[in-house]
Amino acid sequence: MGEMEHFAKLHKVIRGDDYMKVKRAAENPLIMPKDVKPSREDFEVVCVFNAGVTRFEGDVLLLLRVAEVPKNSEPDKKYISPIFDVASGEIIKKEFDRSDSLVDFSDSRFVRRGEEVYLTSISHFRVARSNDGINFEIEDTPAMVPANEYEMFGIEDPRITLMGDTYYLNYSCCAPLGVTTCLASTKDFKNFTRHGVIFPPDNKDVAIFPEQVQGKYYAFHRAASAEYDKRELWLAESPDLVCWGNHRRIMAVNPGGWESRRLGCSAVPFRVAGGWLEIYHAADHDNRYCLGAALLDADEPWKVLARTTKPILEPEADYEVHGFFGNVVFNCGALVENGMVKLYYGAADTCIAYAEIELAEILAALK
């Protein structure tokens, strides 16, 4: 069955106020943890989500974030946190006693003991390809795995920017040093060259623009302020994709609504008639994650011309509401083809789903 035939089967969901027409794939979720082979026999895949998205050799290519945990024969007595050990170059297992009152297991994503924070899983990247945009073949082995002191707790949330014949991949790295953003590049999604840390702790949600603007590279990022608990959208510029400066905060949270707690970029921005369109994510104080859109000036991308007042996609389907971390829709890329914005997104931090929205509808919703 061809791509258009599959998309003809998409389910249409129309909000009660008819604000935005969203078509979710009838086949959703497209990729579940059970569809991904573990990287080793003593591990199991618990989540597959937040994929980088691009076209490669005519196919839709997803660079999946695959989260794994060690198999545990005594889950009621102990918890095992996986950690990349720099000295050995292997992933080791750190055990915690479930009865230890000094250890906090309340958040499904973290284990906390005093000032020490560990992740409950470790993530790597896996390639999945599809010629129809719906049915994906997933490679059996990882494309990229944790490999240094910045990646001890895993590599997460890749975003792919194509420039020339090179795919630039920026991703979040988690470690006791903090959350950094690193850069890698590839031409074939088999061999990756690491270019090191491009944004220091604590910084994530980076997306590099697909072309230079006025002779400079630009990237969104989201710095985190420990003192004031600010997590908002920033813009930086660079002469070479490695050294970044002239940082500016360009979008702030809106108190009291769907983007009241934090916001950051999601997709790599793309050109439209009025400038640059960015699909971004935001969360409220209940950690409910939705997607919105913002329009930036074509030549001065630090100028936000308009943004949506309501989400363009919010967690409504069961697989978006319930999961490892529920009430979450979160994407790291988008394809813009034939007037449609095609979103491959993480749902409830558990699986990959697909939805599409007419570009004209998003542009009409900008205020």
Strands 289-296 and 270-272: unpaired
Nearest Cα to Cα of residue 218 among 197, 186, 244: 244
C-alpha to C-alpha distances, 208 to 5, 15, 171, 367, nearest whole angstrom: 33, 32, 11, 25
Q: Which residues face 139 on adjacent strands?
A: none
Tens digits of residue pLDDT in 41-80? 999 999 999 999 999 999 999 999 999 999 998 888 898 9
Q: Is the pTM of this model over 0.85?
A: yes
Using alpha carbons, list the distances in angstroms from residue 1 to 133, 272, 340.
11, 31, 20
Tokens representing 241?
């994709």
Give the pLDDT confidence score for residue 14 in this predicted structure: 41
User: Nearest 5°: CA angle at 256, between 250 and 262?
Assistant: 40
Helix%, strand%, coil% for the chain, nearest 5? 5, 55, 40
Residue tagged 């944790």 (tokens): 146
Structure confidence at residue 263 (pLDDT) = 96
Average pLDDT in the chain: 94
65 exposure class (CB count in 10 Å sphere: 0-12, 13-18, 19+): buried
- Give the tokens for residue 139: 């490679």
Mean pLDDT across 4-16: 46
pLDDT bucket at 333, cuts 50 / 70 / 90: very high
* pLDDT tens-digit readout, 271-311: 999 999 999 999 999 999 999 999 999 999 999 999 999 99
Quick: pLDDT tens for 94-134: 999 999 999 998 887 889 998 888 998 999 999 999 999 99
Pairing of strands 233-238, 193-199: unpaired
Assigned token pair, 130: 């599809």
Q: Which helix (H) or strand (E) holds 158?
A: strand 154-163
The amino acid occupying position 67 is A
**pLDDT tier at 185, thresholds 50, 70, 90:** very high
Spatial contact of 175 and 151, defined as CB atoms under 8 Å apart:
yes
One-letter amino acid for residue 179 of the chain: V
